[in-house]
Amino acid sequence: MHDVRALLDLGDEAVRKLARRGYALDLSVLSDLQDRRNQSIYSADELRAESKRVAKQVTEAARAGEDVTELKEHARQLKEQIREREQEQERIQQELREFVLGIPNLPLDSAPEGDSEDFAVELRKVGTPPAFDFDPKDHVDLGEAMGIFDFTRATKLSGPRFSITRGVGAALERALAWFFLTLHTQRHDYVEYGVPFLVTPTTMTGTGQLPKFEEDLFKTGVADRDLYLIPTAEVPLTNLFADEILAPADLPLGLTAHTPCFRSEAGSYGRDTRGILRQHQFAKVEMVRVCAAEDSQSEMDKMVSHAETCLKELDLAYRVVALAAGDMGFSAQLTHDLEVWLPSQNTYREISSVSDCGTFQARRAGIRTRTVEGKTTPVATLNGSGMPIGRTMAAILEQNQQPDGSVILPEALVPHLGFRRIGPDGTPQE
């Protein structure tokens, strides 16, 4: 959420920045709402002051034995006017809040121009995509042939865009989650959390999913409460500190969690509807960092390196790109994507987005720290995948497939699995 006064002070500069991400900010609407809000506050305060003066007059007149009928009627009218002004103030405040909640974060000038993935700027490539002397299969054909995926029964249970893993497939999922969590907690100094998978509308609003993106969420309820299934652990992890003031000495904070993620994924995504690349439910290990606002860029560099370590340890070929301003998520001011090589598509595909949200989410959620002068100020929040389980599985299967349909597993996973190869029939092999 934005500081309204800061947006108005930026003026045309705020309009320019938001236009880079395809949002047209109407400063006149924002200014009018702010002026009406301020006027309603001023008017209510004036009426309260007048009410106090009249109340004092009633007391003095009564003590003097004077008739206070007219004064009491005036006092009653003032109280009614105050109630009306307070109701008006509440309506204007809500209107202003709804308007501001719909404004995305201001992109940093370092974010490339453009409005789609076609405008992403490649920063670096790591590893060499494998070369095959046979036609490589995609992860769906590989997994179904080995019997480690079962999309047919998943559809029977839940409809399309769900999957079932079996045997070695389920073991590989579990090993990846364990591997990522161990990496982040033991080498990258993140604290692991177990969090709820159902959260309140207020929690969703804090990280920017509501109110703008409700159609992308799964909504349910418990008793008299509306709840949403989390689209990522970023939501509960970041909101752990909602409405809190964090001690400067405790920053930065690193948090991680392994959770299911639920997304409606409205619309059609062509070939992405096949397999495990884009599903309604998937598992992911998430990274979140909370820091002083001035440290967000250095913390982002650190976070990207943590995500890259996951892929390097698994010996997967990937690249890092800077997303265009118009292609970033609603809450991000800068995003770097990690894209892993998928032989079946002969291209790099996104596997992790690391985003610096600046103070945007912290303002919405009320997460603050103190300056050296003792004043409260919003922190900065960052988030990124470290890593999604399904997409990592797809990359491992495709990049390490063998002519006979078997798959050689990354050495880093062997201690977690106890075997080095998945046979063509889905059996573990030394």
Query: What amino acid positions are annotated as catalytic residues?
Result: 263, 278, 350, 353, 391
Is 351 annotated to bind a ligand? Reply is: yes
The owner of tokens 């949002």 is: 23
163 in a labelled binding site: no
Residues near 57 by Cβ (< 8 Å), separated by ≥ 6?
71
Give the neighbor-by-neighbor strand order of the sheet with 428-429. Answer: 407-408, 421-422, 428-429
Specify the residue for token string 């045997």. 167
Say how many C-beta atoms besides its own lie within 10 A of residue 412's C-beta. 15
Exposure of 198 in the CB half-sphere (CA atoms within 13 A): 7
- Residues 149 and 142: their CA atoms lie apart, in Å, by 9
Token output for 402: 């063998």
Spell out a b/e string for 189-212, using b for 16 or more CB atoms within 10 Å of the CB, else e.
ebeebebeebbebebbbbbbbbee
Residue 51 is labelled as binding a ligand = no
Q: Was 353 annotated as part of a binding site? A: yes
Residue 339, CB-side half-sphere exposure with 13 Å CA sphere: 25
Name residue 283's beta-bridge partners.
260
The reply, when asked if residue 91 is annotated as ligand binding, is no
- Ligand-binding site membership of 263 (annotated): yes
Peptide bond between residue 403 and the one before it cis (omega within 30 degrees of 0): no
**Both tokens assigned to 6:** 């800061």
Torsion of CA 150, 155, 157, 162, to 10 degrees: 80
- Whole-number Cα distances in Å, 93 to 37, 85, 288, 351: 6, 12, 31, 40
- Is 286 labeled as ligand-binding? yes
Residue 385 is assigned to a ligand binding site: yes
**Binding site per annotation, positions for L-serine:** 232-234, 286, 385
**Binding site per annotation, positions for ATP:** 263-265, 350-353
**Binding site per annotation, positions:** 232-234, 263-265, 286, 350-353, 385
